[in-house]
Amino acid sequence: MKICSVICEFNPFHNGHKYLLQRAREESSCDYLLCIMSGNFTQRGDIAVADKYTRAKHAILGGADCVLELPVAFSVAPAEIFAKGAVKLISSVPSVSAVAFGCETADKNVLSNSAKLLYEESADFKSYLTGELKTGQSFIKSYHSAFEKIGGKKEVLQKPNNILAIEYIKALYNYAKTDMEIFPIKRIGADFNDIKLKENFSSASAIRQNLHSPQIKNNVPSFVFTDLKNFSKENELYERFLKLILSRTAPTTLKNIYGCGEGLENAIKNLENLPFRQIIDNATSKRYASSRIKRILCANFLGLYKNDCEIFLKSDLYLTPLAVKKQCINIFSELAKSNFPLLISGSDIQKLSEPALKCKKLDDFSLKQWQQINGISFTPKMLII
């Protein structure tokens, strides 16, 4: 039995995602295609436009056989932690022997070599990085320059999906899964950050920016377009929630969030009375990208702390199915071979260790917060499609 995994957000699911799943199945020749998907909040600190069950349904209709939830402790975290959390889950299932991902550079050797260089982080690399930072360059430019000096191709690191791809491969090294096949699928259509709608392969960012444009119809499958009327653009209330919780948070607490140290916690706290967009703009700098600031504020809102996450990464966790294709329900017999409990019935919660239970409670809390912001109430239930 061969399972190919795809780590994703699908916020929302679009034509490019459908292409990714199709190519992943074709290239891996897998028996089952398994998605590990973010829940209701994403890696850039955004609130998802649709709840995790709706997005999981779209993934199944778009070509996946089963969708598992990536715990929120990892989904709202820097790329390295996002990748480690997802790879930790797939590494626990013996039948998962491949991982596919969309990226700008679909060259296995280039990505693998880049990942190895960064995984080892030699003394030379650290020395170069320190030297570059002292020149006043941004952290990203300094990182790229140091990478180039140890033999890497810095242009590889200049594309967002490449960065995640490299982090996935690094995480495979971390979990001693170097035998797992990787299938980089070249991204087609618009760039990750392109917010202009294209004819039929727009980015998720562009679709979120233009949710009510009729042009979206050509960019998403029909089953997604049908659900667009239920998608949320409730950013204003979400931003007010983030500001409210920030006003109640001490700098010492902010400092325990990934990426919020070296005085950034004080800088953000000092901006708390400004309008939300001004907080983001004023805290953004050469060293700190706006996506990091948004992610910190989201993590603070949800109570996601670095110390807890480090414990979760070292502990046995759980597999939470969000949706499964009816004719592929036998995949559960493979997932049950994981050394992590498969959460299908309510009683399965009793199998969780203390760290796993804490991690799961954060998932449940994040769903409740999504429902509060969007004014939607429903009972969480795995979908069989």
Beta carbons within 10 angstroms of residue 60's beta carbon? 25
pLDDT at 195 over 80: no
Q: Which residue has the higher pLDDT, 235 or 24?
A: 24
The SS3 of residue 91 is helix
| 170 closest CA partner among 111, 109, 123, 98 | 111
- pLDDT at residue 91 in the model: 96
| 85 closest CA partner among 320, 328, 298, 287 | 320
Cβ–Cβ under 8 Å, residues 95 and 331: no
pLDDT-based confidence at residue 368 (cuts at 50, 70, 90) = very high
Q: Which residue has the higher pLDDT, 196 or 231?
A: 231
Query: pLDDT for 307-341, tens place per residue?
Result: 999 999 999 999 999 999 999 999 999 999 999 99
- pLDDT at residue 125 in the model: 82
What gap in Å lies between CA 6 and CA 96, rounded to an integer? Answer: 10
pLDDT-based confidence at residue 178 (cuts at 50, 70, 90) = confident
| 344 closest CA partner among 35, 70, 86, 68 | 68
Phi, psi of 9 (to 5 degrees): -125, -40
Q: What 8-state DSSP symbol labels residue 137? A: -
pLDDT-based confidence at residue 2 (cuts at 50, 70, 90) = very high
Phi, psi of 311 (to 5 degrees): -70, -45
Sign of CA dihedral 301, 102, 385, 233: positive
Lowest mean pLDDT among 135-139, 177-181, 242-246: 135-139
The SS3 of residue 180 is coil
Q: Which residue has the higher pLDDT, 29 or 285?
A: 29
Q: Between the CA of residue 313 and those of 103, 174, 274, what are the distances in Å?
A: 25, 11, 35
* Average pLDDT along the chain: 93
Q: What secondary structure does DSSP assign to 257-320, as a single string?
A: STT--TTHHHHHHTTTTS-HHHHHHHH--SSS-HHHHHHHHHHHHHT--HHHHHHHHHS---B-
| 383 closest CA partner among 31, 64, 9 | 64
Query: pLDDT for 25-81, tens place per residue?
Result: 999 999 999 999 999 999 999 999 999 999 999 999 999 999 999 999 999 999 999
Query: For 232-237, what is the mean pLDDT?
Result: 83
Q: Which residue has the higher pLDDT, 133 or 193?
A: 133
Phi, psi of 77 (to 5 degrees): -155, 165
Query: Cα angle vertex 379, ends 377, 383, to 5°?
Result: 120
Lookup: tokens for 185: 């699928």
Q: Which residue has the higher pLDDT, 228 or 98?
A: 98
